[in-house]
Amino acid sequence: MRNINPLVLLSLSAFALMGAECPGTGDDTGDTATTDTTTTGTTTDDTATTDTTDTTDPTDDTGGTGTITPGGFNATIQGTVQVLLYTLDDDGEYTYISWGDAYNDVFIFGDIFVGAFSANEKEGTETYYDEYVVVSPSTAGDNYELEVSTPETDRVRVMAANDYWGDRIIGTNDPIGNYPDEIIDPDLDDPNNTIVGVDVSILIPYWDGSSSGCGGGGDTSTLAGDIIITTSYAGGDATAMLLNTANEGPYHSTWMTPAPDGGGASGPYSLTTCSSYGDMHLIGAWDSNYNGLVDPAGDMWGVYISDTDIDGNPINVGNSATDLDIQIPFGDFEGLDLTPFVRLYGEVSTTETLAEGTQVYAAALKYRPNIDTYTSDLAEGYDYAVFDADAVAAGGPWAYNFVVPANTIAYLWAYADTDNDGWVNEEGEPVRGAGDDENGRVPTGSESQEYNLDLVIPD
């Protein structure tokens, strides 16, 4: 049994607004792991059956000091990453669809980025220690390996993101998955530790083959200029892309290969976009870790400049322009602000009389639950907690804290298994879903949320 300590997904609904390109149609390149550190993160426990952690500030992993626990992490992390498909039923709820039914068991989307990182949740930043790219993923899932060696922390998290649009950019609307627990180095004195079984799944929407284009064949504009890399350059492609004014995207992008130029490199780009977008941010990125993707683990970023070292954003894309140079790097600009995870946290309580031996469960599920749910199936969700008979007998409330992908949908439920038969949500058993939605549907958003669940016997 397992209980998750209090802790902290990308808006898939926003996919409809993004990308004139079809999912998975971009280039597939890069297949190696590289070690990098970039600042762009969380904490759970896999052992206890009761939870006494204070949830008044679930986003503070640092004990209030903002420092990382010393001790270091030196280990190899191994696991699998798999993409699961969903579609929407008549009620707009998530429903699983198999790869065979959807695409004749062919993986049609882009590559998968996997990263090991730590999080400073007070500042909303992540530090990445290693990354791996799965090239041409399979529908059955793929192995990955991360080698983490750092004195900065003794625990890390693992996330994975699918390049859904195939544009070679891990954007703010690409689907993300997380391993729900913190990973702790089991032996700080042994640099050859191998931690296995760190499996991650990514939930992505079924694509029916349609393309939004520019709103029914609307007008387009062409934006052009040079991408100028002003630091030491030893190869690697660069991209120009458009974000909205909240730095979400990309909406459109294009790739080019710079030519060495003195100590840096430069070269022209040309980008076609929808004239109707209006004000946008024109930015650039250089695949400086050479893994074939623009990702959060060490690539270099820049912006359109109206003059040297002067950010010219936002621009209005209603008209074509040919003098839009992009400078990489640019100041402290760190690119797309990805949110790997958030937390759903709170307490489970009840005024019902619970029979001796009752166990209480809470779970953040990927799909709307069935009427009768087998308790072992809760582990197939994003995260879950079990409060055993001793914890229940001691009295509630029982605190839970789940790590879920940001900007997606979770189904948050709590159950009491009063006859301890491994089935919950049976007739006469207390249950509660989160919020006002009868299905317990929770948009996870980009910030942590508190839900207190009062178990009742349904009418």
Q: Do 169 and 77 share a domain, yes or no?
A: yes
Q: Do 180 and 231 share a domain, yes or no?
A: no
* AA letter at 178: N
**Structural domain includes residue 211:** no
Which of 171, 205, 239 is the last residue in one of the domains? 205
In 3-state terms the chain splits into helix, strand, coil percentages (rounded to 5) of 5, 40, 55
Which of 277, 293, 328 is the last residue in one of the domains? 328
Q: Do 23 and 147 share a domain, yes or no?
A: yes
Q: Do 81 and 178 share a domain, yes or no?
A: yes
Q: Do 314 and 351 share a domain, yes or no?
A: no
Q: Do 253 and 365 share a domain, yes or no?
A: no
Number of domains in the chain: 3
Q: Do 263 and 289 share a domain, yes or no?
A: yes
Q: Do 354 and 412 share a domain, yes or no?
A: yes
Could you tell me how far CA 221 lies from the centroid of its own chain? Answer: 32
pLDDT of residue 78: 98
Q: Is the pTM of this model over 0.75?
A: yes
Domain with 371, as residue range(s), is 341-455
Answer yes or no: are the C-beta atoms of 136 and 28 closer than 8 Å.
yes
Name which of 153, 149, 159 is nearest 62 in CA terms.
Answer: 153
135-176 tens-digit pLDDT = 999 999 999 999 999 999 989 999 999 999 999 999 999 999
Q: Do 58 and 181 share a domain, yes or no?
A: yes
Write out the DSSP string of 224-237: EEEEEE-S---S--
Q: Do 291 and 353 share a domain, yes or no?
A: no
First to last CA, the chain: 30
Which of 176, 205, 234 is the last residue in one of the domains? 205
CATH number of the domain residue 392 falls in: 2.60.40
Q: Are strands 300-307 and 326-328 parallel, antiparallel or unpaired?
A: antiparallel
Q: Do 300 and 347 share a domain, yes or no?
A: no
pLDDT of residue 437: 83
Q: Do 308 and 372 share a domain, yes or no?
A: no
Residues in the chain predicted with pLDDT less than 70, given as ranges, are 1-22, 25-71, 212, 215-217
| DSSP code of residue 158 | E
